[in-house]
Amino acid sequence: MSMSISSFSVICLCADWCDTCRNYRPGFERISVLFPDTIFVWLDIEDIADALGNTDIESFPTLIINRGELVLYYGVMLPYPEHLARVLESFRAQDDEESRRYVKSEAQRRHWQDDQDLKGLLDRCTNK
């Protein structure tokens, strides 16, 4: 029997100086209310620069969505809160085994599972 990995978290990596981030934040917070059992964290990369390690932030907003220890998504997402809600709903519709298969289905997703910098951010944000 496999351990449940049903807890979700969404981490948004942004910067206070970024207009797109400032405009996106109220919608991000609004979406967090729709998913009260999901941890939503807003991180200003300027405040956590030392913790980023080799984490590559190409543009904003950059999101990390995980289910338990599994990184389901890492990358730039268009700054439309409704898009985040749809993506999160689709991940939440997966059962534990589907999520495990999903993260193994592509090389990039497999790489995220071993990325110690991403794991460090997740641990930091979920208090592990």
Note the pTM of the prediction, 2 decimals.
0.89
pLDDT at 49: 63
pLDDT at 98: 97
Res 34: pLDDT: 96
Question: Which residues share a beta bridge with 39?
Answer: 9
One-character DSSP codes across 37-88: TEEEEEEETTTSHHHHTT----SSSEEEEEETTEEEEEEE--S-HHHHHHHH
Sign, CA dihedral 36-29-67-80, equals positive
Model confidence pLDDT, tens digit, residues 84-128: 999 999 999 999 999 999 999 999 999 999 998 888 888 877 765
Q: Could you read off the pLDDT of 5-33 as tens digits, one per residue?
A: 568 999 999 999 999 999 999 999 999 99
To which H or E segment does residue 10 belong? strand 8-14
Q: How many residues are listed for the chain in this entry?
A: 128
Give all domains of the chain, ordered by start, each with its CATH number: 8-126 (3.40.30.10)
* b/e map 45-65, b = 16+ CB within 10 Å: beeeeeebeebeeeebbbbbb
- In the predicted model, what is the mean pLDDT of residues 63-90? 96
The pLDDT score that the predictor gives to residue 52 is 67
